[in-house]
């Protein structure tokens, strides 16, 4: 264990995991959150515990080489996925994997059918959502293919699994996972509205310019 216990960062991760559960964005046993806490370390939610009732002392600390620095704690099954995302995207500090109902339903279809162009905020925050082809959960294969897709995206759907969102901080990642679920719900609703339409190519180009693309 390092000299610091990173208790405040671990409290934050536990709080966001509880919030994720309370917002019905994941199940009591599903989903995981990680946060980069140093250049070579991150903390992550555990496996096998009530996700709606986590506390700082059960949030594990992991070296970016994969070493569990809190060996008395059981790591999340998706720790390798979080580790590779953080290695692939040095600009990213927070990773959220969840199972929101509408977005996870869209994860059964490829290519992605969620329309993020239905309003300006969705497109500005999410951009395009990528599909990740199916790999067995908790495997190195899944971790690698997610890391490959996260290079150019901030939100992903894992086929027949769930969703991943990343951000420079936990609030940004949480906003993206929440807006991804909102975009999925809006896509379902607007399919029944005859005159519904998304942003025009010109409007999309304006938003991309705002985002610095």
Q: Confirm whether 2 is domain-assigned.
A: no
> What is the band of 152 on the pLDDT scale with cuts at 50, 70, 90?
very high
pLDDT (average), residues 9-13: 97
| Cβ–Cβ under 8 Å, residues 163 and 177 | yes
> CA 202, 150, 209: angle at the middle one, nearest 5?
25
Q: Confirm whether 184 is domain-assigned.
A: yes
> What is the band of 1 on the pLDDT scale with cuts at 50, 70, 90?
very low
Overall number of domains in the chain: 1
> What is the token pair recorded at 208?
């991309």
Q: What is the 3-state secondary structure (H, E, C) of 141-199?
A: HHHHHHHHHHCCCCEEEECCCEEEEEECCHHHHHHHHHHHHHHHHHHHHHCCCCCCCCC
Mind listing the pLDDT tens digit for each residue in 64-91?
A: 999 999 999 999 999 999 999 999 999 9
Whether the per-residue pLDDT at 2 is higher than 80: the answer is no
**Host domain of residue 113:** 7-210
Q: Confirm whether 110 is domain-assigned.
A: yes
Output the pLDDT for position 213: 61
Mind listing the pLDDT tens digit for each residue in 153-191?
A: 999 999 999 999 999 999 999 999 999 999 999 999 999
Whether the per-residue pLDDT at 3 is higher than 90: the answer is no
Cis? peptide before 111, omega within 30° of 0? yes
Mean pLDDT estimate for the chain: 94
Please give the model's pTM, rounded to 2 decimal places: 0.93
Q: Confirm whether 1 is domain-assigned.
A: no
| Cβ–Cβ under 8 Å, residues 170 and 32 | no
Kind of pairing between the strands at 130-132 and 155-158 = parallel
């Amino acid at each position: 264990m390092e000299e610091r216990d990173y208790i405040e960062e671990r409290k934050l991760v536990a709080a966001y995991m509880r919030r994720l559960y309370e917002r019905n964005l994941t199940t009591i046993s599903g989903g995981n959150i990680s946060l980069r806490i140093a250049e070579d370390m991150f903390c992550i939610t555990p496996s096998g515990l009530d996700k709606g009732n986590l506390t700082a002392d059960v949030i594990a600390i992991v070296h970016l080489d994969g070493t569990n620095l809190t060996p008395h704690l059981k790591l999340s099954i998706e720790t390798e996925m979080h580790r590779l995302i953080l290695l692939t995207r040095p600009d990213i500090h927070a990773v959220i994997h969840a199972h929101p109902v509408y977005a996870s339903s869209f994860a059964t279809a490829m290519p992605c059918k969620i329309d993020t162009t239905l309003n300006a905020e969705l497109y500005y925050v999410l951009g395009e959502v990528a599909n990740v082809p199916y790999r067995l959960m908790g495997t190195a294969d899944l971790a690698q293919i997610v890391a490959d897709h996260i290079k150019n995206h901030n939100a992903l759907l894992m086929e027949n699994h769930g969703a991943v969102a990343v951000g420079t901080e936990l609030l940004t990642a949480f906003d993206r996972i929440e807006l991804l679920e909102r975009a999925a719900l809006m896509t379902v609703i607007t399919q029944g509205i005859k005159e519904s339409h998304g942003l025009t190519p010109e409007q999309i180009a304006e938003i991309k310019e705002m985002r610095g693309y």
